[in-house]
Structure 1
């Protein structure tokens, strides 16, 4: 009986210890990192970007997320936490530079467009990803365009084990309903900035309630409100304009070269793309792993858990070899 009690105690203690360890692994850290002289918000689960790898002497797996525009990292926290809990590896996200204002500082003088934002991600990768790391890149929306551009850099392509593209904006944006609407209304951007500024200066209890009335989840309200800051909104709108001009022809060469690493998830009725993009892609690349889903383009609003489960399965799959 005494032995049985000891065993039960040991098992209970071990279970509690594992829970404590899991909680410590799940700790979120956030801070601004200077990338090419621009303060850039980085959010992590697991170790911070400058900490030593937790497992010395072994290959480290890192999940790196390249967000949409607006690239607020806050939207992705539930998604990141799930991936981190499943794999106990660092999960990092790099915001678009200039889309968050450091406390006590001004916005950068230069507004960064799509090419500059991509260059920021390349610099971050080169500066903070260890030489022997195995990286899973996850792009969302126009972040998928940035991921494909990053894969053109040999030092990055060599370290990337897989690239997971969620609701990818990688072609024909001017032909999608939302892209056409955005292009048509570009001349009214000053009016949009003014209206959202009025919203921004309202007491948060009022503006937050109004956003919730439009079915915005409460967890996302602070990150949307921060986007309404006119200084931030100008940065976001420049990237949006660049998307329409620069993301039109699909880069088949980088897809073909990395087809064994790529996984893509599309959304039915995604207004950002012409409806034929998914079928046309698979006609050109029948061996490419791409799936259609019922999720919304901004999946983090309602479907973080479901999309994280899908990505988790992709991460666990063996890498096929087609070419």
Structure 2
């Protein structure tokens, strides 16, 4: 592996081979000393799975909760250093199934056994998380946050109808230059590749992203209700109100089928690619959601000095989710581009409970009949608004 310290405070970038493919890992906080007793926030990105897009999201999340936050790129969705090839062996790590296996292998090889996980998925990363929890039910997942989840009927969504022909047929045009180069003498082809590499450094990653996108259209069909129901108390879903990849009708179906689930609809106008302009805002929301899940433990928990997750089988010390109220404010901006669009403050405003001294506006929820509900403590949970 190749490790590079970032100029951004507290960030480290590492390039490794995982499941036979070049992989970029971005780490914020405790990069060198993660032990099996720690809580790790692990981000599974959307497509393209470029972890640099999530930097400000990660810095804000770490600044608020004080725990290490890692993001692992999708296999081949990075520009590795010149000393690394994109593929180490011939296994297909770039398809949807390979990407899921890639994440499980990463956990096995790079995360100490026994580490408690808070998984944060974005877009297709949410589908991968559900598959990970299905294939490895023994994973110690405390919570899984699903941001703008594309977990069903992708090809039938408005954006899917537009992109399916492009991803499933026209993507093969990207392989034409590779085929033409294969016809040239090896020395000449190598020279041309070196000349073009500085311009097309991300071309292989773009091809891998298109390849994954084509498989998403074909394979993400029916929602995995069995896995969702089995893990419902550990899942938080956050849908966009203007998301063309997972329209509001998908949110309404989820609320109808899982009335007791934590399923939220954005009221801030955030776009699917939230990391482009709202990474800090979404991170603040996520941090507050995590805190609120520990806010009302039964009396017996206090005597033990513990607070539970929603699942009675999972008990976690309160110090992990809120080491200090003084850490609530997000870190100052250091000019990092936000290349997707998760919204931290948004996630915070959707909370039922807020930290001492912080007033959050009431969050909007929608009941199974389509009526908006507030959870403003001053009005009582379940106060009904007009449609």
Question: Which bin holds the TM-score, normalised by the shorter protein?
Answer: 0.7 to 0.9
- When the two chains are superposed, the root-mean-square deviation of aligned CA atoms in Å is 2.6
Shift of 1:187: 2.5
Shift of 1:106: 3.0
Distance change (3 Å), C-alpha of 1:182 and 1:192: farther
- Cα shift readout 1:281-319 (whole Å, capped 9, x = no counterpart): 110000111111121000001111111111001221223
Matched, 1:28 2:35: no
Name the structure 2 match of 1:179: 160
User: In 2, are the aligned partners of 1:78 and 1:304 still within 8 Å (CA)?
Assistant: yes
Shift of 1:60: 1.1
Name the structure 1 match of 2:97: 115
- Cα shift readout 1:50-85 (whole Å, capped 9, x = no counterpart): x333xx7x8311100000110000000000000111
TM-score of the pair, normalised by structure 2: 0.64
SS of the residue corresponding to residue 71 of structure 1 reads coil
In 2, distance between residues paired with 1:203 and 1:129?
34
- Cα shift readout 1:66-123 (whole Å, capped 9, x = no counterpart): 0011000000000000011112211001000111132113322655101000100011
User: In 1, are the aligned partners of 2:239 and 2:246 still within 8 Å (CA)?
Assistant: no
SS of the residue corresponding to residue 78 of structure 1 reads helix
In 2, distance between residues paired with 1:86 and 1:44?
16
Name the structure 1 match of 2:133: 151
In 2, distance between residues paired with 1:310 and 1:226?
35
Instruction: Point out the more displaced range, 232-241 or 137-146.
Output: 232-241
1:78 to 56, 68, 85: 56
In 2, distance between residues paired with 1:202 and 1:36?
24
Name the structure 2 match of 1:283: 256
In 2, distance between residues paired with 1:141 and 1:232?
18
SS of the residue corresponding to residue 276 of structure 1 reads helix
Matched, 1:101 2:101: no
1:320 to 310, 323, 326: 310
Name the structure 1 match of 2:119: 137
In 2, distance between residues paired with 1:203 and 1:25?
24
Name the structure 2 match of 1:300: 275
Shift of 1:272: 1.0
Instruction: Point out the more displaced range, 293-302 or 31-40.
Output: 31-40
Name the structure 2 match of 1:239: 212
Shift of 1:146: 0.5
- Cα shift readout 1:154-186 (whole Å, capped 9, x = no counterpart): 231xx1100000000000111111111111333
| 5+ long unaligned stretches in structure 2 | 1-6, 178-195, 295-308, 314-387
1:42 to 12, 20, 25: 25
Higher helix share: 1
In 1, distance between residues paired with 2:21 and 2:165?
31
Name the structure 2 match of 1:219: none
SS of the residue corresponding to residue 43 of structure 2 reads strand
User: In 2, are the aligned partners of 1:172 and 1:274 still within 8 Å (CA)?
Assistant: no
TM-score of the pair, normalised by structure 1: 0.76
User: In 1, are the aligned partners of 2:155 and 2:164 still within 8 Å (CA)?
Assistant: yes
Q: 4+ residue runs of structure 1 moved beyond 4 angstroms?
A: 190-195, 201-204
User: In 2, are the aligned partners of 1:175 and 1:274 still within 8 Å (CA)?
Assistant: no
Shift of 1:261: 0.5
| 5+ long unaligned stretches in structure 1 | 1-23, 196-200, 205-224
- Cα shift readout 1:212-244 (whole Å, capped 9, x = no counterpart): xxxxxxxxxxxxx864x1x22221111101111
SS of the residue corresponding to residue 221 of structure 2 reads coil
User: In 1, are the aligned partners of 2:27 and 2:68 still within 8 Å (CA)?
Assistant: yes
Shift of 1:193: 7.9
In 2, distance between residues paired with 1:252 and 1:43?
32
